[in-house]
Structure 1
């Protein structure tokens, strides 16, 4: 019993008393009693220990500085101040090194975010040194500021390590969110960097599938939460048997998921159904003859001279633009802008070509000019739709709305053209007024082109039809609907059994509405609908994020950084495109902070 009582006894605590500073010349530093005279420490704040130390080692102090005298008070303050100064000599460099390390993380993140080389860290530090030398020239602590800035660790090797750590931190955050989220979707597209280093050999659907499975396994990604995959139209992605999507569907680890061909790709392909190559061929030929660079040096000088003469001509004629936009066939999105610039500069182009004694009969052909006007207007409208579909926040319901609106506009434009109204085709109207033979203008032939585009849109976006009513319901559940038809689509898309129709009825008669509607709907009361709504909200309608990443990759891995490794390219890409903020404090605490050498 006695032994048990001893175990349960609490350890006695000792508290430091402020009056001991003058009585025994001790002070408290980080929970330890420190003698201000010899800097020895006492582990316990016991009066007897402090008194014994003072009487044994500092007897003469009591004689020189009588207790409670003014001279003793001044001496104690002096000793206390000196001890603090000495402590700061050890803590200040450590704090400065830690701050410098955090600054190097932040600057390295800025360099990666702006897609700059690792070697630009030294340039950044040199710029700060120049700034300190100039801006802080009249400051008393100018030397301290300059030394602090020059001490930032920003060498190429350091920036490389910082970028690696930053990328790992962001990756951890993404994987953590994946483990916490209810559903997620994926975008897949393919491109090549300047050295083709990511997939070393072939890029079949099987190769992409194996790489993805390896990534899923390595990072413990909860693949059972996958609800949709959006891809481009490549055979490696959408092949019926050996495509990436088909292999995923046949894998028992994957759940049932929805697959879409990227809406933006579909829109671009639908726009190419029109064959106006006779217009684009001449436009591109004329622009390139003026603007493009020739291969040989002599040809370059000749073309450059023609280009300067043309620009000078535009200035003399006070033209609407100062130059033409260079067009390449692969830049399909630029086609509308190129055509519009060409139409606006057509009189100046004709004048310039005449100075070179060049004749192009199409530029005076009424039918060709009318086709140019129509194509210019239609490509501008397709470009406007494409821009509407782009963006990080563009999810499937928004894209369905944009595509449906464009299909409805095609019908309106066709009706207007049949009636001879050219309100929505300003360039076609301009050409129809400028041509000599008014009978050459036949609006019905352009109606046929619009009908062709509408047919292609309906064909290509047919896979979205089944989702249209579901997306509309998720956006606004209280619109009038055919409940039987809608519930059938829910069952088709989400493999539901029964009960969704009754939930729709109950929901439409539930008057609790809010802007964040689905976040407030009771999941116990409407389990099927809330689950489906969350899944739809996770769908990607396009591979826009992939395309954006490819664009960043082209900027990061240029011919001047062609030897950038796969690991570092991935790190730089992740930091350039992600919206996650690194945890700078945790990263700084995880390393031993040292100043730059």
Structure 2
């Protein structure tokens, strides 16, 4: 009996936090929480009146929510204290920097830290999310990082690696963040000769994907999506049309350049609805002959392969040698596909093989260009291949092919 009552109480508190969290994320005022509770009670009285008493116990008053926010602030301070104590025991650490702009056009600098102590316990946390309300120059970024290090009492002397998003204000050996860090290495006690600077492996993979030159095909597809989704009438008519013919999907998806994985999802959805979209565009007197062109079919499958690689790189708990292995395997696949295309074989592009008049030479050239992009962009990882053997085959490593600072840090980019 007591266990049941405690469970009900916990569920009531959890429900209150869930509603408060949803409203906070939607930037709604506190006063709307009481209105939502009234709606919940009305709905409960119709659907499940026997549980109305439980819904009445959910506290969403303004005073309660404010008190919980203060409680969460106290918990945040406790988390910071715990993280500070853990960071004090780091033998060495690396940081990752990512600068982006939020919906309010405010630049946000995300600072991640990954460190290791004497017991080889690895700690990886989001250290801070610093808003850059004015300029986003290299000095601003350096000052924000230094401010965060000072607040956590973290010395620069234990820094052995920096991973960046490749932004112009971060990379660069002279005037950028890395340049400032190198110039102040003596002052900050940073071992600049042992400092490892790498460009984020996922960002580089995305930049390689942009080298595909089938822009004429992509532009037609994006223009079609915008014609449908940007006009309310067209969008409603398409959804009604797909519903009437019982299509597999009831809508098409937008493509966002920032979220690069949306390209493959959008192209795949267009391919699966190609016949329905072609009929709809004919009704709108905008026929699309490109939907029967095998060029964009090749683009669909190739972006699908790139998305699969991206998902592999995003998996947690991987060391840098695992990520580099995924890249090497994909580069081998690219060379294989290029060789097959040159010989008129589209075995690994199943959808494309169903078409006639396939431009094998053009596809082979695209695969060659993509392979070259991977080789050029990941040269920094290739130069450190011997160091990665420490993680791949630790029993075969020695101090000559694995620097001591790498032995103290399990680097994960």
Alignment TM-score, normalising by the size of structure 1:
0.55
Deviation at 1:105, TM superposition (A): 11
1:196 aligns with 106
1:163 aligns with 72
**Contact 2:159–2:190, Cα closer than 8 Å, also in 1:** yes
Residue 126 to residue 460, structure 1, CA distance change in 2 (3 Å): same
For the residues of structure 1 that align with 2:89 and 2:19, how far apart are their CA atoms?
28
Check if 1:173 corresponds to 2:89: no
**Contact 1:470–1:489, Cα closer than 8 Å, also in 2:** yes
Query: Which one has a bigger Cα radius of gyration?
Result: 1
**Contact 2:281–2:287, Cα closer than 8 Å, also in 1:** yes
Q: Deviations over 1:261-281 (max 9, x none)?
A: 010110000111121110011
Deviation at 1:218, TM superposition (A): 3.0
2:116 aligns with none
Check if 1:441 corresponds to 2:358: yes
Q: Deviations over 1:559-589 (max 9, x none)?
A: xxxxxxxxxxxxxxxxxxxxxxxxxxxxxxx
Name which structure has the greater RCO, CA cutoff 8 Å, separation 6+. 1
Residue 200 to residue 307, structure 1, CA distance change in 2 (3 Å): closer
3-state SS of paired residue (2:132) = coil
1:89 aligns with none
Residue 126 to residue 401, structure 1, CA distance change in 2 (3 Å): same
**Contact 1:376–1:427, Cα closer than 8 Å, also in 2:** no
2:392 equivalent among 466, 475, 485: 475
- Pairing 1:348-427 to 2, within 5 Å after superposition: 348-363=276-291, 369-427=293-351
1:228 aligns with 161
1:280 aligns with 218
For the residues of structure 2 that align with 1:162 and 1:196, how far apart are their CA atoms?
27
1:219 aligns with 152
**Contact 2:173–2:179, Cα closer than 8 Å, also in 1:** yes
Deviation at 1:159, TM superposition (A): 2.8
Alignment TM-score, normalising by the size of structure 2:
0.77
Residue 411 to residue 150, structure 1, CA distance change in 2 (3 Å): closer
1:461 equivalent among 357, 364, 378: 378
**Where in structure 1 are there 5+ consecutive unaligned residues?**
1-99, 294-299, 433-439, 495-527, 542-597
Q: Deviations over 1:261-312 (max 9, x none)?
A: 010110000111121110011111112112223xxxxxx4xxx2x3333233
CA RMSD of aligned residues (A): 3.5
**Contact 1:108–1:162, Cα closer than 8 Å, also in 2:** no
1:534 equivalent among 402, 405, 408: 408
**Contact 2:204–2:378, Cα closer than 8 Å, also in 1:** yes
Alignment length (residue pairs): 367
For the residues of structure 2 that align with 1:429 and 1:230, how far apart are their CA atoms?
41
Check if 1:322 corresponds to 2:322: no
Deviation at 1:161, TM superposition (A): 1.5
- Pairing 1:35-434 to 2, within 5 Å after superposition: 116=25, 119=30, 126=37, 134-135=50-51, 155-193=64-102, 194=104, 196=106, 198-251=131-184, 252=186, 253-256=188-191, 257-293=195-231, 300=232, 304=233, 306-363=234-291, 369-432=293-356
Deviation at 1:258, TM superposition (A): 0.9
**Contact 1:108–1:121, Cα closer than 8 Å, also in 2:** no
For the residues of structure 1 that align with 2:301 and 2:98, how far apart are their CA atoms?
30
**Contact 2:387–2:401, Cα closer than 8 Å, also in 1:** yes
**Contact 1:238–1:245, Cα closer than 8 Å, also in 2:** yes
